[in-house]
Chain A
C-alpha cells in the first residue's frame, strides 16, 4: 500500500509568482484535503476534493485553487504569491463512502518560501 506523496519537497518563489503543488493520494483513497501550516501553528484547512469536485473550503481567498484528477491525485495552485504564503503545505487523503468519519492520512508536505 502506497502512502501519500507530495512534490516538490521544497520550493522557493518570489512575490507575485504562481505555484503548483502536487499530491498523490494513498492507494484506495478518493478524497484529498489541503492544509497550510505556518511556522509554529497548527494546520489550517484550505479545501477538500471528492470525485474531482471541491467539497468544502476554509477561509482562503480565491487565488488558492485546486484540482483533483480521475486517479484521485490532486494539485494546489496559488496565484499572486504573497510573503505570508510561506508555509508547509500538507496534503491528506481519505476514503469517503458516505458512512462514519474517515481518517485522513497526511503526506510529508511541501515547504514553500516566498521571497
Chain B
C-alpha cells in the first residue's frame, strides 16, 4: 500500500525558534500533499495544500508567513513553523496523494510542543 512518513514524530522547541517537519511519500510520487493540524480531542483542520513545484494554497486564517510549506520534490514536503509560540503546540499531520491513487494517505503525525 501507499506509505507516508513524517519526521520527527515528536519535537520540543523553545519559544521564538523555528522547527521543520518533513513529510515523505515512501513508495509513490505525491503530486499533492496536505498539512493538517489537530488540537487535543478535536478534529483535523486543513492548513494548506501543496502541489509539487508550486506555491502552497493556504486555508483561510492560516498565516502563510508563519507556517512555511515547501514541496520541492514528488516525495517530500516540509512544514516550517517559524517563531514558534506555545499556542502553536499541536499535532501536525500530513497526507499525500498521487494522480494514480484515488485517496489521500496519511502520515503518522508529529507532536510539536513549544515551551
Question: Is A bound to B?
Answer: no
> Interface of B with A (CB < 8 Å)?
none
> Interface of A with B (CB < 8 Å)?
none
